A and B are shown apart, each in its own frame.
Chain A
Amino acid sequence: MDSSTASILAEVFFETLGYWYIIIPTIFLGLIVGGIPGFSAANTIIILMPLTLALDLQSGLVFMISLYCSARMGAGIPAILVNIPGTAGAAATPLDGYPMAKQGKGQQALAISFVASCIGGLLTTMIALATMPILARVGFYMHSVEMIVVMLFGISLIASIAAQDMVKGLIAGFLGLMIGSIGTDVVYATPRATFGFLELYDGVPLIPALVGLFAVSEAFVIIEKRVIVNHTNEPKAPNWTDTFDGVRIALKRWVHIVWTSIIGLVIGVIPGAGASIASFVAYQQSRSFSKTPELYGTGHPEGLIAPESANNGVTSGTLVPLLVLGIPGGATAAIMLVVMQFHGVSFGPSLFEDQPKVGYGMFMAMAVSYVIMFLTILPLSRYMSHVTTVPTIYLAPMIIAFTLVGGFVPREYMFDMYLALAFGVLGYIARRTGYHVAAILIGVILGPLLEKYFLWSLKKSDGDIMVLFSSTLGNILWVAFAMSIILPIVFGMRRKRKLEVPAE
C-alpha cells in the first residue's frame, strides 16, 4: 500500500466518521429489519429507494452499507432470544444461541454475538481491502464442481446434527433436501412435485420455510412454559456483568472469530454463494475441529461465534467482486450497484483509479459502521435479553402474527403465508417427535444449490460423473472435505482413549 493510498484511506475514514448522524439511526433500522423474517437490507433499500436516490453519493453509500451490516447482525438477535433467525444467514445461530438464552444466558449470548459479528466484520473488511486483487480472482476459480464441494461442507452439518439419533437426523435432512428440490429443474425447467401450484415453480421460497419451521412451530411449543427462560434459571435483574462476561468469552476465542470470519469472507467473494452457506460451513468446520464437539448444540459459545463471525465476514466479501469486477456477490450488492450507477459510478478495475474515494469509501463505511455498531448495540444487550422473560401467552401470538406476514413480504403472494403455516405444522410435528428442524432447513436451503451445481457439472461433461474430480482446486477441496469428516472422528477416538486410560 503506497503513501497516497494510505492518505486516501485515512481521509475517507475520518470523512465517514462525520456521517455518524446517518449511521446511528440506520443501525437501529437495520437491526429491526434484519430481525423480522421477510425483511432484509436488500428489500429495505428497495423500499427506501426514493430516499437513497435523493441523498448525495457519499450519504447514500454510507446509508446502504450501514444498513447492510446492521441488518446482518440484527438477524441474529431473535435467533438467539426466541429461536427465530431473521434471515437464512442466521439459520445456524440458534443452534447454540437459543440454548444459551434458555439457560438464562441471553445477555451473555447477545454480547458474544455482537463481539463476534463486529470483530469478524471489521477484520474481514481490513483483509478484503488489503487483498482485493487476489480475492477478486476467487470467483474465477470457483466453478460448479468446486461449488459442489463447498455445498457438501455445509450439508455435512446434517450428519453432525444427526449425531444423537443418526436415522432420525438423516430422515429430517434428506426430507429437507427433497423439499428443496421442488420446482423446475435448472436445465430443462421441468416442473417437479409442485402439487399443481404455479407459486412453487420457482422452488420453495426460503422465508416462508424459515418462518414456519422456526418461528411458527416455536410459538406453539413455548406456550407450554410461562416464559422462554427455564424455570431453573430465573431471570436476573439487568446487569453489566453478563455483558462483560460475554465480551470476555468472545475475546478469549479471538482465533475462532478470525478463522470463521475468513471462511465467511472467502464464501462471500463467490458470486451466488451467500451468508446461509457461510454460516453452515463455518459452524460445521468449527464443530469438526473443536476439542469439545459434544458441547455443540447445548449452548456452546464457539457454536454461536462461528456462524455470527462468518455471516458478517460475507458482507465485506460480497463487496469485492462488486467493486473490482462489477459483479454483485449477492442481492444487496446488486441493489447497491443500481443505486451507485444512478449516481454515475461505474464499477470495475478502473474504479480505484477514477474514483478511489468511492471504492475505498465503501470499505471505510463498513469499518466505521462496525465500530459504531459495537459501541451503540453492546450496551443494549442487557435490555434486549429481557424478551426471554416476556410471558409466552403474549409473546407467542406476536411471533406468529409478525413472522407470518413476514413470510408474505418477499414475493407478496398470499400462498406464501399458507406455505409458512404448512411448514409450521411440519416443524411442530418434528420438534415434538425428536426430529431436528435445523436439519430440515439445511436441506431446504442448500439442496437446490447443490442440485443446480451438480446438474451444471453433468451437463458440461455430457453426463460424465468423473467431472467432479476433474479440477485441481476441486480435488484439493475434496481432500479438505474428506479430512474434515475423518479427522474429527480420529480426534474423538483419541480423546476417548485418553479418558479411558486413567480409569483403567
Chain B
Amino acid sequence: MASEHHKPPRQLGGELVIPIIAVGFTIYFFSTIWNSPWTAQVSAFMVGGFLLFVCAIFFVRCAVWLSRGEGSLGFGNLFTIEDIRTGRIGLLFTTIAYVMFIDTLGFTLMTFLFLAISMLILAKGKRPGFILMISGAMALTGWAVFIWAFDTRFPRGWFETMMKAVLANG
C-alpha cells in the first residue's frame, strides 16, 4: 500500500535557511532604525514584526516535524554531490570570477573567458572547438551591439581600447 512506503524525512536544514536569513536581516534592520524618527520605523516594524511572527510559526512547525521524526536537519535539498557532477559548483566559481574581474579585463574578453570556461565545465570538456567558437561569437556580438553600436558604459578593458583605436584610425 502507498501509505506503507517509507517517505524520506523532509530536509528541514535547507528549508530553514530563508527564515534564518529573514530573522537575521529583520533584527539587523530594527537595529538600524532604533533611534530613528517614527517615519523610518513605522512600516519596518509592522512588516518586520509580522515576518518574525510567521518565521516563529515555521520554526515551531519544524520543531514538531523533527520531534515526530518526519524531518531532519539535513541540507539535501540545497547541496548534493550532484552539484559537483553537473558542474554547478564550477559555474558558481566562474560566475563569481566574472563579476570580480570584468572591471579589470573588460566586457568582451571577460565574457569570452566566462562563456568558454563555464560551457567547458558544464559540457565536461566535450566539443571544445565549438564552445570556443560560440563563446567568441557571443562576446564579439555583445561588443558590437552594446559597446560599438549603442556606446553603453559596459566595463572597458584592453580589447575595447584596442578596437577603439583600430576603428578611430580606420
Contact among A167, A392, A414, A418 with B61 in the assembled complex (CB-CB below 8 Å): A167
Given known pairs A394-B119, A412-B153, A426-B21, the reply for A174 and B54 (CB within 8 Å) is yes
The yes or no answer to A57 lying at the interface (CB within 8 A) is no
B49 to chain A, nearest CB (A): 10
Whether A175 pairs with B151 at a CB distance below 8 angstroms is: no
Please choose the segment from A274-282, A364-372, A453-461 that sits at the chain B interface, where 4 or more of its residues have CB less than 8 A away.
A453-461
> CA A429 – CA B78 in complex, angstroms?
7
Among the listed B28, B102, B114, B138, which residue makes an inter-chain contact with A193, where contact means beta carbons less than 8 Å apart? B28
Q: Are B99 and A185 in contact (CB under 8 A)?
A: no
- The answer to whether residues A174 and B99 also contact, given A190-B36, A190-B40 and a CB cut-off of 8 A, is no
Chain B contact residue count (CB 8 A cutoff): 64
Residues of A within 8 A of B86 (CB): 223-224
Q: Which of A411-425 contact B (CB under 8 A)?
A: 412, 414, 417-418, 421, 424
Partner of A401, one of B22, B26, B111, B151: B111
**Of listed A167, A426, A432, A447, residue having the most chain B CB within 10 A:** A432
Looking at the assembled complex, report how far the CB atom of B120 sits from the nearest CB atom of chain A, in whole angstroms.
Answer: 9
Q: Check B47 for interface membership: any CB of A closer than 8 A.
A: yes
Q: How many residues of A contact B (CB 8 A)?
A: 63
User: Which candidate, B1-9, B12-20, B63-71, B162-170, is the interface stretch facing chain A?
Assistant: B12-20
Interface flag for B57 (CB, 8 Å)? yes
> Assuming the A-B contacts A47-B152, A429-B17, A458-B42, are A393 and B28 also in contact, with contact meaning beta carbons closer than 8 angstroms in the complex?
no
In the assembled complex, the Cα of A447 lies from the Cα of B43 at a distance in Å of: 10
| Most-contacted residue by chain A among B42, B96, B99 (CB, 10 A) | B99
Whether B47 lies near A220 (C-beta < 8 A) is no
Indicate whether B134 reaches chain A with its CB closer than 8 angstroms: yes
Q: Which chain B positions have C-beta within 8 A of A412?
A: 153
Known contacts A414-B155, A421-B96; decide if A398 and B18 are in contact (CB<8 Å): no
Complex Cα–Cα for A98 and B103 (A): 33
A149-198 residues with Cβ-Cβ distance < 8 A to B are 167-168, 170-172, 174-175, 177-179, 181-182, 185-188, 190-194
Identify the stretch in A12-20, A139-147, A402-410 within 8 Å (CB) of chain B at 4 or more residues: A402-410
Contact present for B99 and A171 (CB under 8 Å): no
CA distance A224 to B98 in the complex (A): 22
Does B132 sit at the interface, judged by CB under 8 A?
no
The 6 A-B residue pairs whose C-beta atoms are closest, nearest first, are A397-B118, A393-B122, A187-B39, A185-B40, A190-B40, A174-B51
Extra 20 A-B pairs, beta carbons < 8 Å, given A188-B40, A397-B94, A429-B14:
A167-B57, A174-B47, A174-B50, A178-B51, A191-B32, A392-B122, A397-B118, A397-B119, A400-B91, A400-B98, A404-B95, A405-B111, A405-B154, A408-B154, A412-B153, A414-B103, A432-B14, A433-B14, A433-B77, A451-B43
Supply 19 A–B pairs (Cβ within 8 Å), ascending by A: A167-B57, A175-B22, A178-B22, A178-B47, A181-B43, A185-B40, A190-B37, A191-B32, A392-B122, A394-B119, A397-B122, A400-B98, A433-B15, A433-B17, A433-B18, A433-B77, A435-B18, A454-B43, A455-B42
